[in-house]
Structure 1
């Protein structure tokens, strides 16, 4: 390992206060735009895509096919994660974030102008699926870069708070997506929404992408990567090294996210929206009030996510997660009893309770993942763990929920499924050691490469900074 240079621009936390604020803003805005694009697709899949693109398959199967297209994109997230991980570890975090933002925006805008099955037949669902796959590839590369850029710029005692930046972008994306969808459902109600109203949120993505691109291009590269590049310590084959040395860690980290993601996709995947508004379902509520309730729950999710990031700097990542899993289980058990009342206020309450737990099992994730993996393969590690967790968790959660309700005639089986996924996340968390405060720079690769499981002796002094 070469000697430390005279200046240390790469020690995490040495960025200027102005640059740190700019990084946080860039990660929040960028991930908000990315997930707005991702979530308006899921909302449209629950509300209109079954009729517009899959109607020949029959009423019930058409809806399952529509939700399957939501899940298909997750299968391609690892492709995006592998590509972005390699590029991010070899060429930097910032360039990857620019590419993923543009890719997502192009795919989303094209969905907004896509002809339906009535117009071009089978080509319509095929093109829809291809565009959703492109969204999946983009999403697979987006999160890892945003997480690392935020956490690697952060002071050691504020990694959880800074890392909550890209995490907050997800509920902000849901808030924006649901809000715009709800607004269009009011401006163009009924058949008008079905005909053209749903397209406007997709086309609005052009404006958001422009804003996100402008903000991100003004952000400096991660100081950790700058040090890696200066010392020419880039891994030649980061993904090969990751799986050869850290496969068990990737799996456990993926299971942590899976426990959160499966539950979160009850709303972000469009399932609750469809269940509550289905005209042939038990509730048959109006679309606009349900979308506003989901929008309101995005606010509680946003707040709890930010609070959890801050709390993890004081309690440690692991303890914050454990509290979160307990809160998430409470939310899971109360969700459908409240939703099934058919009362919009109680539906919102059920979603709000659920999102408190979701925030506490999501807010610390960026800092947790960043502190788990060695510097030279960190982008690959966090991106691939995140993508695999998305497949194991949220990819087909709406499809599974829809199939369980159709098979059993009720929602009890869905509750048990979500409770089981919460237990998986808790067990995975208990396996991990809290590594809050571990040095992130390339001088500490040996320390970063061991001691991440309970029972292993860490080569560093770990303690949450107060």
Structure 2
């Protein structure tokens, strides 16, 4: 085992248990994000006509994207609420609650009457259920991430943490496969009338998985150690009398802002790719099945690169992977849009693969880095709030902002500039964040060095 200087270290379970935890985190993350993402795909494909039929196609699309963004407004709220109780009650329990909330809300969307049936009440109920989805996904990330990173030994934390990170990209693949099968199997009229409901109704599986996690997995060693330090009968320790969120804001304010900035371009780039571009290239004459397939392939590239870059960060350090990846993301912004605008399969595929690879390089080491940025008692709160703040600022309204920039400027270059600005913010955030993990090679070369 490598020698690691790590303030957040601790005993790790057996490899067998760790593999089970990693599989559960991957499954939970994938299915939760599947529920969250099918909304975006449906918003790009049918929600403008199903829930906003009385406005122009452009306004209907903007309204559908706006409801997509509403869920992101509630993600920080979910991060705050679930972070507080996750630091008090445990990672596993709150992950299960988030999964059940998501499964119920998404299933109800699949049962929701349309505008033609109940009028304005339909989009209102849609927005309310989207808010519940936002709360659930806001709490899910911290639970799934910490469940696996706090179980992993420090020198494998990057690799095992990547299992929680792969979930969103696997969810895009899963959701796009479901929609592609439905589009191929159903006439356009049937898909618009009732076929779009099927992906939402399938989310009942999330509830079952939540029960499995509750019954089969224990909480993390780090959290159990924190509980053991509390007095046996005298209530919480003085350090835990404050709300974990208040304590995180007091002790780690800069880290919360930095973690939000670190994922900024991931959110902007990714949601423009999987939501906005699905709608935009359709206006260029590209078939829905074609663009969904290209997004699926891009997500597969991200899934493959996430564990590779995460494992590399275990060997050379987090920032030595993240900074070059952020630079590559910045350099790829304009070429990505130029290639997608060719509306040819080779051009769009090349652009989507570029995006998928650079995003994998950025996203892979993030779970380990976030875990190492915060102390155990406030880790769920700090990591969740920072991540979700970056998500609401960067990702939630990225499709709406992109569509508005395109309508205002008439050129896709304005959207590319939006991504480039986000990439600069991410690069600055990573560069100014202290490195807490030191692999043996770095420690041997420079024992006095504390950060990168």
TM-score normalised by the chain length of structure 1: 0.89
1:54 matched to 2:78? The reply is no
Q: CA deviation at 1:149?
A: 1.1
Q: In the alignment, what sits opposite 1:271?
A: 276
Equivalent residues of 1:47, 1:274 under 8 A apart: yes
Measured against aligned partners, the alpha-carbon deviations of 1:392-437 in whole angstroms (never above 9, x if no partner) come to 2101100000001111112010001101101110011110111115
Q: In the alignment, what sits opposite 2:285?
A: 284
Q: In the alignment, what sits opposite 1:403?
A: 404
Q: Distance in 2 between matches of 1:171 and 1:149?
A: 19
Q: CA deviation at 1:242?
A: 1.3
Gapped regions of structure 1 (runs ≥ 5): 1-9, 439-458
Please report the RMSD computed on the Cα atoms of aligned residues, expressed in angstroms.
1.9
Q: Secondary structure at the match of 2:135?
A: helix
Q: CA deviation at 1:298?
A: 1.0
Q: Distance in 1 between matches of 2:410 and 2:385?
A: 37
Q: In the alignment, what sits opposite 2:309?
A: 308
Q: Distance in 2 between matches of 1:325 and 1:431?
A: 13
- Using the TM superposition, name which of 76-85 and 207-216 deviates more: 207-216
CA 1:315–1:333 in 2, change beyond 3 Å: closer, same or farther? farther
- Using the TM superposition, name which of 88-97 and 325-334 deviates more: 325-334
Q: In the alignment, what sits opposite 1:123?
A: 121
Which structure is higher in RCO with an 8 Å CA cutoff and minimum separation 6? 2
- Using the TM superposition, name which of 226-235 and 359-368 deviates more: 226-235
1:15 matched to 2:20? The reply is no
Q: In the alignment, what sits opposite 2:171?
A: 173
Equivalent residues of 1:327, 1:356 under 8 A apart: no
Q: Distance in 2 between matches of 1:400 and 1:373?
A: 32
From 74, 78, 81, the counterpart of 1:83: 81
Q: Distance in 2 between matches of 1:249 and 1:149?
A: 20
Equivalent residues of 1:89, 1:379 under 8 A apart: yes
Q: CA deviation at 1:13?
A: 4.3
Equivalent residues of 1:326, 1:357 under 8 A apart: no
1:152 matched to 2:150? The reply is yes
Q: In the alignment, what sits opposite 2:240?
A: 235
CA 1:426–1:11 in 2, change beyond 3 Å: closer, same or farther? closer
Q: In the alignment, what sits opposite 2:256?
A: 250
Q: Secondary structure at the match of 1:436?
A: coil
Paired residues, number? 430
Q: CA deviation at 1:293?
A: 1.3
Gapped regions of structure 2 (runs ≥ 5): 1-7, 231-236, 440-446
Equivalent residues of 1:98, 1:217 under 8 A apart: no
1:365 matched to 2:371? The reply is no
Equivalent residues of 1:241, 1:377 under 8 A apart: yes
Equivalent residues of 2:99, 2:206 under 8 A apart: no
Q: In the alignment, what sits opposite 1:419?
A: 420
Q: Distance in 1 between matches of 2:365 and 2:438?
A: 13
Q: Distance in 2 between matches of 1:208 and 1:98?
A: 10
Q: CA deviation at 1:189?
A: 3.5
Q: CA deviation at 1:314?
A: 1.3
Q: In the alignment, what sits opposite 1:456?
A: none
Q: Distance in 2 between matches of 1:189 and 1:296?
A: 25
Q: CA deviation at 1:331?
A: 3.0
- Using the TM superposition, name which of 211-220 and 250-259 deviates more: 211-220
Q: Distance in 2 between matches of 1:462 and 1:313?
A: 16
Q: In the alignment, what sits opposite 1:455?
A: none
Equivalent residues of 1:94, 1:149 under 8 A apart: yes
Q: Secondary structure at the match of 1:55?
A: coil
CA 1:219–1:276 in 2, change beyond 3 Å: closer, same or farther? same
Q: Secondary structure at the match of 2:363?
A: coil
Q: CA deviation at 1:327?
A: 2.2
Q: In the alignment, what sits opposite 2:4?
A: none
Q: Distance in 2 between matches of 1:374 and 1:208?
A: 30
Q: In the alignment, what sits opposite 2:382?
A: 381
From 92, 96, 99, the counterpart of 2:97: 99
Equivalent residues of 1:329, 1:357 under 8 A apart: no
From 182, 185, 207, the counterpart of 1:184: 182
Q: In the alignment, what sits opposite 1:445?
A: none
Equivalent residues of 1:36, 1:174 under 8 A apart: yes
Equivalent residues of 2:372, 2:436 under 8 A apart: yes
Q: In the alignment, what sits opposite 1:432?
A: 433
Measured against aligned partners, the alpha-carbon deviations of 1:335-394 in whole angstroms (never above 9, x if no partner) come to 121111111232122111111111111111111111001111111000100110101210
Paired residues for 1:196-215 under 5 Å:
196-211=194-209, 213-215=211-213
